Amino acid sequence: MRAVYVDNNATTRVAPEVIEAMLPYLAEQWGNPSSMHTFGGQVMHAVDAAREATAALIGAEPREIIFMSCGTEADNTVIHSALAAAPNKSRIITTAVEHPAVLNPMKELQKKGYDVVFLPVDTEGRLNLHELEDALDANTALVSVMWGNNETGVLFPIERIAELCAMRHIPLHVDAVQAVGKIPIDLARVPITYLALSGHKLHAPKGVGALFVRKGTPFTPLISGGHQERGRRGGTENVASIVGLGRACTLAGEHLDEEQTRVAALRDRLEHEILTTIPRAFRQGDPAMRLPNTTNIGFEAIEGEAILLLLNEYGICASSGSACTSGSLDPSHVLVAMGIPFTRAHGSIRFSLSRYNTDADVDFILEKLPGIIARLRELSPVP
Ligand code: PLP
């Protein structure tokens, strides 16, 4: 059976070029980068090259990159480090639509007595910058805002937010796990303090991520141990995956234009056809300020899980919300925060494409989906 994979915000296929770059570091070059001998030194050289490639994709300097195990670790590290740097401040500003990698640590801090502000979004998933500005005060230790939303693809105006924070010398963390590799990012130009990215969202393997920390920012490791990563993250480096991440970042830079043009056009065609041919289907999220690969569509009065199961029978892999929260039947916190009516939020499907998708994939989804929706509506007619 053919597989049409349109769940790339959950995870991505490891690019063949990435696997090829990694293999020598699993087979022959298995040394420890911290060793003094040449065998280890060669490996350290590969880690340094990966650091340069990762930095280059986002306009950072190599020494501003710390390799980590995943995006979640990067997000948690920032929160830990920023609060350690501001022991007398108790306010943290974030949004109601963050990924659980940020949302859950924030809820824990709230329980511990921190004044955590969860900024609301409007029905299109947009932030109100005046509300953000009003929340910033001298007691604010950190602002943590995602760049691209994993469920809807909505992009927050990070450049404006960075200016607002920089003017007040408040550190800004950007969870850019979904944005890196999909939109151009230039940290030389935008005064962001910390930025998290994750390998498996950009065609590198799972189990590797990176944190950008702007030079001059005080830093307290979350994982303390050996002197790896210049003392900023203990633990022997996951060399092969780091090499893979570096290769994936270079490839992402080369494919950035295609992401904005061909992938965006595929997404737009898929979305347009669904919205015009299937009754009571609604796009969820700002149509303009969006990741180029993502569309989230609410099908009124049916369950998203049922749609997914029937799509799956044809080998079509999509998602009914964030991958990390699927398995629970509660409507997504993102759609709830946008005020999407329950009957629609419940029947939401996220299609997230990648450079490996083709016109034939979109044709196949468009061939199968209308029948699936009609069948489900027949089974449980709702007025
Ligand atoms: N932040 C966002 C916006 C995400 O979409 C994800 C994963 O889905 C994460 C953080 C967590 O990344 P990781 O899976 O690498 O821990």
The predicted-structure confidence for 153-201, as pLDDT tens digits, reads as follows: 999 999 999 999 999 999 999 999 999 999 999 999 999 999 999 999 9
Q: What six digits make up the tokens of 191? A: 């005064």
With cut-offs at 50, 70 and 90, classify the pLDDT of residue 41: confident
Q: What mean pLDDT comes out for the span 105-120?
A: 98
Q: What six digits make up the tokens of 106? A: 């924030």
Closest alpha carbon to 224 in 89, 61, 66, 45? 66
Model pLDDT, residue 38: 87
pLDDT digits (tens, 9 = 90+) for 288-325: 999 999 999 999 989 999 999 999 999 999 998 644 44
The answer to whether residue 324 is catalytic is yes
Helix axes 71-85, 100-111, angle to 10 degrees: 40
Model pLDDT, residue 176: 98
Closest alpha carbon to 39 in 28, 54, 52, 48? 28
**Which of 99, 146, 154, 222 to probe ligand 1 with, by most ligand atoms within 8 A of CB?**
99
Residue 10 CA: which ligand 1 atom is closest? 8
> Which stretch of DSSP H or E encloses residue 359?
helix 359-379
Three-state SS for 292?
Answer: coil
**Which of 177, 180, 206, 293 to probe ligand 1 with, by most ligand atoms within 8 A of CB?**
177
Model pLDDT, residue 381: 64
Identity of the residue numbered 376: L
Q: How far apart are CA 321 and CA 340, in angstroms?
A: 13
Contact 249, 181 (CB under 8 A): yes
Residue 69 CA: which ligand 1 atom is closest? 15
Tokens 């419940």 belong to residue: 346
Q: What is the pTM of this model?
A: 0.97
Q: How far apart are CA 14 and CA 136, in angstroms?
A: 40
Tell me the CA–centroid distance for residue 72 and ligand 1, in Å: 6
